[in-house]
Amino acid sequence: MTDAPRPFAGPTALRHLRRDPVLKAVIRRIGPCTLQPAMRDPYEALVRAITHQQVHGRAAEAILNRFIALYPGHGFPPAPQVLATPVEAMRGCGLSGNKVAAIRDIAEKAVGGLVPTAEVAARLPDEALIERLVAIRGVGRWTVEMLLIFTLGRRDVLPIDDFGVREGWKVSAGLAEQPKPKELAVIGEAWAPYRSIAAWYLWRAADADKAARIKPKAAKVPVPGAMPGSAL
């Protein structure tokens, strides 16, 4: 019998974050942290991230599924086979020329060892991974920070350039405008070593504020409610 996965935000993390009165109120309002990292290889996570850049979620998934379908018998397209795939075939999946170039660069760097396996990545510090992976076409610091949080399950990453995180702090702290990235970095020092969890709560706070400000349009007949729901 296997042990259940350790919660991303356990009691110790929440107790620590509640020392900040703003986060304490956010945690009380949002409830338990439901984040569960996907635990994919960094290569796959980066390809998925590139596919989703500047594309609506459903459309990106449709493009990604067509891309995966080019490689039957594989859970995800192996890097060597991606490099052997004609550009036209990849473009036929709906990928832009820039995205094809970025995905091929990720595949090339994976074959060459620059993109580490999950086992190797687990032994590398956050900043070492960021410095290593931003050398790849189309991959910036924010993309690697998302990989650190949502794929590798790192608990102490604060993406200070992320709009949603800064917006979440603005609305939760009652500010007139978003903090500058450097300002948020200073504020977030007190949240270490659980800054990824703080970021998750600030994302949810921004989402909740946006939902509260969007007024539903009047309808003559009842409309079934919709289920609530990542640059090249």
Nearest to 141 by CA among 126, 154, 152: 126
Helix (H) or strand (E) holding 15: helix 11-17
Q: Which pTM was predicted?
A: 0.84
Q: Considering only residues 38 and 78, tell me which one the structure prediction assigns the higher pLDDT.
A: 78
User: What is the structure's pLDDT at 35?
Assistant: 93
Which strand (E) or helix (H) includes residue 164? helix 163-173
Residue 216: predicted pLDDT: 55
Backbone CA torsion sign across 224, 225, 229, 232: positive
pLDDT tens digits, one per residue of 63-116 = 999 999 999 999 999 999 999 999 999 999 999 999 999 999 999 999 999 999
pLDDT digits (tens, 9 = 90+) for 155-188: 999 999 999 999 999 999 999 999 999 999 999 9
Residues catalogued as catalytic: 162
> Quick one: average pLDDT of 50-63?
90
User: How high is the pLDDT of residue 154?
Assistant: 95
Q: Which domains does the chain have, with CATH numbers?
A: 11-36+157-211 (1.10.1670.40), 42-150 (1.10.340.30)
pLDDT digits (tens, 9 = 90+) for 144-162: 999 999 999 999 999 999 9
